[in-house]
Amino acid sequence: MKTVTETITNIIYQSEVLQEAHTINPLFARIIAWADDHPVVWRIVIGHKSKAFGLGSCEYIGWAQRAMTPESILERARHMHELWEGKSPYHHPDSIFVWRAKFTLAHYQDKRFTGGFFQQHDAKYPRSCLTLDYTPETLQEVLDRFCAWMDRAYDTDHVTINKQTVRTFPVKETPCLAT
């Protein structure tokens, strides 16, 4: 039998802003550099203030949603970076999904920043839904974006945020039937 001793040197890529964000995977080096250039990213992905992209958001793959491991933090930052660049393989650069990532990054530090569960309702059932961030000053803009995105196949009766009605739509008149 032969015994071989091997010495391995790893290069560690570590954030200068968030010490917990580190890896030996060189593919994450540019994500760390981007997030360090935009430090609010670290605050978003490890905090609860952003409902759309914060800790626990269903936007992320399951294993990365709530964990605070370096891999989970970096996966959440990677996902935000992909959307911010408009290079998500799942979303067109003009989609509401890319828009909301850019919106969250732009407004996260605004006063009274929060988020909520936006949902379209027809007369009988809840329909399309999406978690979006907003401030009181940007609520109408965010609501307009949501309404432009929601499913047109239904006659929308109202829109709610966290089950509170925030916008109603006029009742469509039923055409008179000839007798």
The answer on pLDDT for 154 being more than 90 is: no
Residues 138 and 92 in one domain: no
Query: What are the structure tokens assigned to 80, written together?
Result: 């935000």
Q: In the prediction, which pLDDT does 133 show?
A: 98
For residues 156 and 161, what is the distance between their CA atoms, to the nearest angstrom? 15
In a domain, 25, yes or no: yes
Q: In the prediction, which pLDDT does 153 show?
A: 86
The answer on pLDDT for 179 being more than 60 is: no
> Among residues 98, 131, 148, which one ends one of the domains?
98
In a domain, 8, yes or no: no
Nearest-CA neighbor of 145 among 90, 83, 88, 99?
99
First to last CA, the chain: 99
Query: What are the structure tokens assigned to 109, written together?
Result: 């530090």
Domain that holds residue 123: 114-168
Q: In the prediction, which pLDDT does 142 show?
A: 97
For residues 83-104, average pLDDT? 92
Residues 49 and 76 in one domain: yes
Q: In the prediction, which pLDDT does 54 show?
A: 97
For residues 40-64, average pLDDT? 96
Q: What angle do CA 41, 45, 51 make, to 5 degrees?
A: 110
The answer on pLDDT for 178 being more than 70 is: no
Residues 33 and 72 in one domain: yes
Residues 90 and 156 in one domain: no
In a domain, 178, yes or no: no
Q: In the prediction, which pLDDT does 61 show?
A: 94
Residues 121 and 85 in one domain: no
Other Cβ atoms within 10 Å of 173 Cβ, number: 6
Residues 134 and 83 in one domain: no
Our count of domains for the chain comes to 2
In a domain, 62, yes or no: yes
Other Cβ atoms within 10 Å of 131 Cβ, number: 20
For residues 154-162, average pLDDT? 92
Give pTM, 2 decimals. 0.87
The answer on pLDDT for 90 being more than 90 is: no
In a domain, 124, yes or no: yes
For residues 46-64, average pLDDT? 96
In a domain, 109, yes or no: no
Q: In the prediction, which pLDDT does 174 show?
A: 55
Task: Measure Cα distances from 107 to 127, 142, 143 in Å.
Answer: 27, 12, 15
For residues 107-119, average pLDDT? 97
